[in-house]
Every structure is written in structure tokens, then in C-alpha cells.
């Protein structure tokens, strides 16, 4: 699954062009004060994680939904089939011992 962060696009559609404008909206509409560096990072980079409270604040400030902020590719990922490991039920080993050795008599 691939997620693309689309905050800049969502902001631009609402005529928010800078991190400074977004920071002001976060304070005015969502009551959230974030540092300029944090807003700048959200605005210019794709985060590897985001707090739910931050997502809600962004949606409130931009009057949008999370669908406007993320593009999710749900195409199934094909994974190579891993070879299976032999088990005791698979039969004798190549050495011909059949698995375990018997104790001496």
C-alpha cells in the first residue's frame, strides 16, 4: 500500500499557499498552536506518521476531510512465494536416515 501526502494540494485548493498561512488557520479555526518548524515540515515533507489530533486540526483548519489530505493506493502487493521448509511428515531426508537416529540397543 502506498500513501501520498496531499496537504499542499488541499491547501492550495483553499488558497493557502504558505506554512505561515496554514499555521494562522490552525490557530484561528482549530485552536491549535504549532511551531513554525512543525507546520513547515508538514507542508513540505511527506510524514511517516501523523498524530490523529494533528490530522483533525488540519481538517478543521482547511475545512476538508482526511480523503483530501491522503491519496491511498490499495493495489495488492504481490509478494514472492517463499519456499516451504520440509517437515518430519515430508518423508525421509536425503541422507536416508528417515529423520532421527534410534538409540543404541
Q: Which domains does the chain have, with CATH numbers?
A: 2-71 (1.10.260)
**DSSP secondary structure letter of residue 90:** G
pLDDT, average across residues 75-98:
68
Nearest by Cα to 54 from 86, 43, 98? 43
Rounded to 5 degrees, φ, ψ at 46 are -90, 115
Amino acid 72: pLDDT: 84
Cell of 78: 504481490
Instruction: Write the pLDDT tens digit of every residue in 19-72.
Output: 999 999 999 999 999 999 999 999 888 888 999 999 999 999 999 999 999 888
Angle of CA points 48, 51, 52, to nearest 5°: 125
pTM for the full model? 0.67
* CA atoms of 16 and 36, how far apart (whole Å): 15
Amino acid at each position: 500500500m502506498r500513501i501520498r501526502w496531499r496537504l499542499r494540494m488541499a491547501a492550495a485548493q483553499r488558497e493557502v499557499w504558505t506554512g505561515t498561512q496554514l499555521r494562522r488557520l490552525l490557530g484561528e479555526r482549530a485552536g491549535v498552536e504549532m511551531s513554525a518548524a512543525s507546520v513547515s515540515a508538514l507542508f513540505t515533507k511527506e510524514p511517516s506518521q501523523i498524530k490523529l489530533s494533528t490530522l483533525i486540526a488540519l481538517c478543521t483548519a482547511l475545512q476538508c476531510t482526511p480523503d483530501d489530505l491522503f491519496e491511498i493506493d490499495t493495489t495488492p502487493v504481490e509478494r514472492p512465494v517463499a519456499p516451504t521448509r520440509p517437515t518430519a511428515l515430508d518423508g525421509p531426508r536425503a541422507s536416508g536416515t528417515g529423520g532421527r537416529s534410534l538409540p543404541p540397543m
